[in-house]
Amino acid sequence: MRHRYRNRYLVHSHRVPNWNYASRGWYFITIVTHNRLPLFGYIKDGMMHLNACGQIVAEEWERSKTIRPYMHFDTYVIMPDHVHFLVQLKQNQHYVPRRLVGKMFRRMSHSIPSFVAAIKRICTIRLRIQRNSPLMHVWQANYHDRILCTPIQIHHTRRYIRNNPRNAPPTPPHLIYNTPY
């Protein structure tokens, strides 16, 4: 049975139980668009072609490199309906579970959850402005992550990310021009 909060179903976390997501290490992160809409461009001939929305995500990835010196930004790919990031936290943060501040939980700074929340937040703000759509839903709740422990896992993940557009099917033409955003 699913638990409810305020008469709504809770979104269950995909996080590894008891893992400190502020600890030094490599993380493969995937965030997906709301309803898997192809908001960021299209695939044609094995190549990803970014539209203005995809370009915003690319700009925020590059901006993250300058404002988050505690992270190494290895590689990424923006696909029509999702984004893959390979990042490394370069330093350990002391483990402090999400702490209750007033009635709200607060994410630990310099952690993977705070990075993902920040990227999703700033991209959403910019996309809503760019599309003149203040209520636009951009992302699915939550994200997927994988903790990479060996150099071979890191190598395979890099290769997967780089080859993702080549291995993806072309975006159907009706989705390229008729997206609601």
What per-residue confidence (pLDDT) applies to 38? 93
CB-CB neighbours of 27 under 10 Å: 20
pLDDT of residue 8: 59
Mean pLDDT score of the chain: 85
Quote the distance between the C-alpha of residue 156 and its chain's center.
19
Superfamily name with CATH number, domain 20-176: Transposase IS200-like (3.30.70.1290)
- Ranking 99-103, 112-116, 162-166 by mean pLDDT, the lowest is 99-103
Q: Give the per-residue pLDDT at 93.
A: 62
Residue 106: the pLDDT is 58
Mean pLDDT, rounded, for 147-154: 96
The torsion angles phi and psi of 82, rounded to 5 degrees, stand at -160, 170
Percent of residues, the chain, with pLDDT higher than 70: 80
Output the DSSP codes for 77-138.
EE-SSEEEEEEEE-S-------EEETTEEEPPTTSHHHHHHHHHHHHHHHHHHHTT-TT---
Average of per-residue pLDDT across 162-181: 79
State how far the Cα of 22 lies from the Cα of 92, in Å rounded to an integer.
Answer: 6
Structure confidence by residue, pLDDT tens digits, 127-145 = 999 888 888 899 998 899 9
User: For 2-31, how does the pLDDT look when each residue is reduced to its tens digit (9 = 90+)?
Assistant: 555 555 555 566 667 777 788 899 999 999
What is the C-alpha separation between 16 and 45, in angstroms, rounded?
37
Which pLDDT value is given to residue 100? 47
C-alpha to C-alpha distance for 177 and 93, rounded to whole angstroms: 45
Q: What is the pLDDT of residues 76-87, one digit of tens each?
A: 999 999 999 999
* CA pair distance 22, 32, nearest whole angstrom: 22
Region 80-107 average pLDDT:
71
Residue 167 has pLDDT above 50, yes or no: yes
The contacts of residue 120 (CB under 8 Å, 6+ apart) are 31, 138, 139, 143
pLDDT of amino acid 76: 97
Specify the 3-state DSSP secondary structure of 22: coil
Report residue 160 as tokens: 């997967």
